[in-house]
Every structure is written in structure tokens, then in C-alpha cells.
Amino acid sequence: MHSISTNSVGCVPIESPPLSWSSGLSDCSSIFSTRWKRTPEKLLPLDDKEFGQIYNLDISEPFYMKFNYIQPNDHTTVVCQLDDYMEVPIGDAEQCLECIREDRLLLETVHIEINACDPKTKIAVEKVLNKFLIQKNKCSTDLVVKRVYFFIYDFSYARDFAKILSIIAPKAFEVNIGIPKNRVYPLNPSTEAGYVIEFLTRYLQPNKTYETIRVLRIYNFISFDKNFQAIFNRCTRLKHLTVSNIEEIGIFEAETIESVLLDSCDFSNTFFDYEFAVKAPRLFPKALHFGYLHCKLDVCTKAIEQFSSRRIGETRNNIRFYQPEKDFRKFLLDVTRNFEIINDDRELEGEIQIRGHKDGPVITVFNKDRIYMSKNE
């Protein structure tokens, strides 16, 4: 996922901004822009790839809006990162946004990360996001936000930001909820899963984002139930799903999904991870790409074994399977006991083809360095 090399605003390398980084607003730049620290441009990576990412989709680097608590002199205060401006007091945030160039406001990826959660701060953050919209609407052109990242430490506050997010990114192609391994406020899993559904419903509905979203990644708890099913029924162009924390698996089927990833984020596997591995072929009957990354080996083995014997209604001829084991040969030795090796000519390149029974699908298994990129359709 896109990230900068600092997770805490308290340890940001400070460097004087280059003269070429003019805000485009000479009066603002000369008076205010030097009041706030800036992160060097080299700290913003542009080449991160994510499983299921839309291939060849021209998407910019992220425009960051992060909100954090800091404790200078034992006094807690809220500061922001706004693009490359760091440690901006939240009271200065609206003024800081006025100093940001138009080309930065029009970036096609927006990353919102709210680590400061309390009722008073929520109102202040909403004001900053509204100011961002005001400044963006003043720009001479209007570029669509194609990818959005939304993280909030306490997801019970998330629904209050859904409406404004639907205005910031009304036609997003890729939507990411949560950030892998980021610490969150511990909510009851079923409660958090309910908040996620409520947030998604509020975000997707107002501007018909249902019609544009193609990739959805959720790192908070989620339940595969009728409420989640209702969202999938409306997202007719949704092709990829990433999940991480599963609270329940009920009656569910997503026919539009072509690729699915379980990213366990190197945490301990749960009963629902194993249940997902067993049920995934039926939950996603049209999916041809299955990924199990940062998972335990036995979860991956359980997943691929689902294709080792005949299943009623199975019509897939080819499956592509992405697994996390560093020792590719070890993984193959573990799984091929129940499979016939069809083609191992490309084993050194990190792929091998196997089949579980005569009429079963041919499964291409990849090593841990390979990820799937979805089609731009």
C-alpha cells in the first residue's frame, strides 16, 4: 500500500523545501508556507503494487491527509499531514490547504488516515476535509479521484465521514478501507463488521459509486452475510476483493468477482480463515484468481485442496493460485500429494501447473513474489 516512511509525525526527517516547490499562490507561499515542516519528495514512493490492482490504470501518487495526536510538553494536541506539509496544527490546517498547488490538489489518489478520534477532533477533521473540497473546486480543471484509501483508528466514527468521502471520491475505481497492520481501537468484531457495512452503504450510494468501483480492499472486520451480499449485488463492475479479518461466513455469493485475496497480515489464523479457504470457490463461483498472502501454510494448503476432487457445479477450466511460502519447492511438495503435475517447465521462474482429477481445472501455482493485476475494463 502507498505509504511514506514515517508512521508517526514525531520522527519525520525535516528538510528545507526546494525553491521549486512554490505553492502557486505567491502571497500565501511567502507568508505562511515556511511555517510548517515539509517531508522530502524522495520519501514518497510511486511504485508500490497491490494484489488486484487495475493493470495499466494511470493513477498518481497519493495526496495525504493524516491526523494524529502528539504530546509536546505532556500536552496532547492534534496535528496533520497535508500533502508534504508535516505537523501542521489542526487549527492551521485550513490555512495550510490554501498554500497547496493546484496540481497537488488534483492528484487522482487520496489517502485519508485518521488516528485522532474523539468528538471534538471529529468536527475539526470534517472542517479540514470540507476545506480540501473547497480548494479542489476552485481548480481550473476537475480530475476524478480514481483510488482512495480510508483509515480511521476507531471505526465507530467512520460512518460520519462516509458522506464527505463520497463527494471527494464519487467515481473511485479502487477503494481501500483500513491499512494492513495499523493499530486500531479494539471493537467487538461483529460490531465493527456492522460499522463497515454502514460506512460502505453511505459512501457508495449517494453518487452512484456502485457503478464505478472495481476493486475493494477491506482490512477491518467483515461478515459475509446478506448485508454484504446486498452491496455486491449493486456493484456490478466490482472485479476484485481483498479481505483480512473475517467475523462470520453465512449465505453469500458474489458472481462478479474475478479475483479474491485473503491477506492475514501475518497475524494468527482464525477458524474463519480456514472456513474461508474451504468455501471460497463457492462464495466466488466466477473467480479465477485466488491469493493467500501473509497466511499460514496450512490455510493455503486447505484452500488449494478444494480443487483436488470433483465438485458439483464446478465449471472452471483454469485457476491461478498465489501463495506466500518462501520455499516454493516445499509448498509444492506439500500440495502435490493430491495433484498431478501437468507442467513444471517454468518452476525456476516461480510457477507450476497441477490438476487434481481428470476433468478438474488446471491450476497454475505461483511463488510468493507474484501478484495478480486485474484488467482495465
55 three-state secondary structure: coil
- Interior angle at CA 35, CA 30 and CA 38, nearest 5: 100
What's the pLDDT at 40? 62
In whole angstroms, what is the distance from residue 377 CA to residue 238 CA?
11
Q: What size, in residues, is the chain?
A: 377
Between 197 and 23, residue with greater pLDDT:
197
All three cell numbers of 375, joined, read 484488467
Q: Model-level pTM?
A: 0.88
Which tens digits make up the pLDDT trace of 284-321?
999 999 999 988 888 999 999 999 888 777 889 999 99
Q: Are 132 and 97 in contact (CB under 8 A)?
A: yes
In whole angstroms, what is the distance from residue 340 CA to residue 322 CA?
18
Q: Dihedral sign for Cα 101, 105, 107, 111, please.
A: positive
Which tens digits make up the pLDDT trace of 316-369?
999 999 998 888 888 888 887 889 999 999 888 889 999 988 888 999 999 988
Which residues in the chain belong to E strands, given as ranges?
37-38, 62-70, 77-82, 85-89, 109-114, 147-152, 174-177, 215-224, 240-249, 259-263, 289-293, 318-322, 340-343, 351-355, 362-366
Least confident stretch, 14-18, 190-194, 195-199, 208-212? 14-18
Sequence ranges of the domains in the chain: 32-257
Between 169 and 24, residue with greater pLDDT:
169
All three cell numbers of 38, joined, read 515539509
What's the pLDDT at 59? 74
The mean pLDDT of the chain is: 86
- 28 confidence band (pLDDT: 50, 70, 90): low
What's the pLDDT at 377? 64
Give the position of cell 488486484: 52
Averaged pLDDT for residues 120-148: 95
- 86 confidence band (pLDDT: 50, 70, 90): very high
Which tens digits make up the pLDDT trace of 259-276?
999 998 877 788 999 999
Spatial CA neighbour of 377 closest among 254, 261, 256, 208: 256
Spatial CA neighbour of 98 closest among 111, 109, 110, 82: 82
